Chain A
């Protein structure tokens, strides 16, 4: 590889990382769908998909083939360019934010004079703000899809989604301020490191006294991803399917994938900010076993376990709670979550200021 310049090496390694992470994320998206169908099935006392492959494990593949082969329909009255670009915006925005998520401990690999952290695509100083920014751009996908379909149910769904996402973005952003105050940084890596001292006890949700912030984040994140109990934008009983009523084939699949990729991103962020990210819940209680390979893999294992737990929680909530009414949703966001988030900020900064004395 010596004939490559430093920049080319860096570019190649980055592209490699992006491809690997993208493939893993998309596979995870496909299997989250299966997980949801299975778990929801068991909650409702039935089997869920069980015919394709052992335990229905090949179901995502079958679904993918089905969606690829379906006929692509575009309504005559639709605004064609925006109708096509809307699912693309939704899916890209939901996939981009995974780029700033650190999956494991810092693990540098040196090639050709360039050392690259293999468990993180990009470690940015404002990683948290980047995630918030990309989430707020993702609203366009949903807003445009509803409008360009030229269908009243789609328009109503997308109007609901847009206003819901804008309202809950405030509570979401404010709930994270407490974490940022504690870590004194917006870099996700630094935030993770600030919680790694004593295992579970120094996680923000327990030792950091951020359980109120965590509660607000969880509520707001469910609303941001348009999931039950806040799935009003696609409330079947009122709006057929909401903003993606007119979409078929792969365009529908893109919205579907975007929803699940958003779920995974939210689970990753919750893990990183409140549950210590890739650090072990036991801290240094047990002596390190195995060689350097185990030491590199174990943090990823913990990270995946925590993300998986959040995804299960998502599905559990969907199987348990009924849908909110629209005015309840709005007053819950503005009159309860927002003041609570502000109180949390004041409380956290007071405690920090008293500590610093």
Chain B
């Protein structure tokens, strides 16, 4: 059951990501990105990170991507023309992607013991409520980084308001 969930939604995420790249219309690409995010949310959930899954759906697919779609709709962006692509992308892109993939998998494989493991879907049967644990860590151990991040976001919002306001 859990394996089936993983295969279905993993495949869906990969398919969505590929579709995101190959679609020519910005709205179709944005919608494929939504599919990717929703599949990732299901994968998070099957790993026991319920809160992360819900936050992923509410924040990313529900708010940020809606704004993306909104902007695309307002700008009335049409279909893009396909170009040959730059030569630099062909020469540097594929080896670069392979290198990053190798590096990441090397780090994850060597640090496997330090990172800890989780049983795929082990939390689905009856989930421990990890929201209270998460919040108590956020508000005790990680209070300073948490608050600093909030202030950073606040500054970014103020900056956006200042930039968007027209000079009188």
Contact = CB atoms under 8 A, between A and B. Distances in A.
A82 B127 contact: no
A136 interface: yes
A130 B31 CA distance: 20
Contact of B74 (A144, A159, A166): A159
Interface in B107-163: 127, 129, 131-132
Contacts of A146: 73
Interface in B37-71: 38, 50-51, 53-55, 57-58, 61-63, 66-67, 69-70
Contacts of B36: none
B13 interface: no
A231 to B, nearest CB: 20
A144 B127 CA distance: 35
A284 B29 CA distance: 57
Nearest to B58: A133
Contacts of B62: 133, 135-137, 139, 169
Contacts of A258: none
A133 B73 CA distance: 22
Contact of B67 (A140, A166, A186): A166
Contact of B34 (A130, A135, A140, A185): A140
B63 A166 contact: yes
Nearest to A127: B54
Contact of B66 (A133, A143, A173, A185): A143
Given A82-B27, A139-B66, A166-B67, A133 B34 contact: no
A260 interface: no
Contact of B50 (A125, A139, A140, A169): A125
B70 A163 contact: yes
Contacts of B92: none
Interface in B1-54: 1, 27, 31, 34, 38, 50-51, 53-54
A126 interface: yes
Contacts of B55: 129
A350 interface: no
A105 interface: no
Contacts of B129: 125, 185, 187
A95 interface: no
Contacts of A7: 1
Interface of A: 7, 79, 82, 124-126, 129-130, 132-137, 139-140, 143-144, 146-147, 155, 158-159, 162-163, 166, 169, 173, 184-187
Interface of B: 1, 27, 31, 34, 38, 50-51, 53-55, 57-58, 61-63, 66-67, 69-70, 73-74, 127, 129, 131-132
Complex A-B, nearest 4 residue pairs according to Cβ-Cβ distance, in ascending order:
A136-B62, A129-B54, A133-B57, A147-B73
20 contacts: A7-B1, A82-B31, A125-B50, A126-B53, A126-B131, A129-B54, A137-B38, A137-B57, A137-B61, A137-B62, A139-B62, A140-B66, A144-B31, A146-B73, A147-B69, A147-B73, A159-B70, A162-B66, A169-B62, A186-B131
Given A129-B51, A137-B61, 11 more contacts: A125-B131, A126-B50, A126-B53, A129-B55, A129-B58, A144-B31, A158-B73, A159-B73, A162-B66, A169-B63, A184-B132
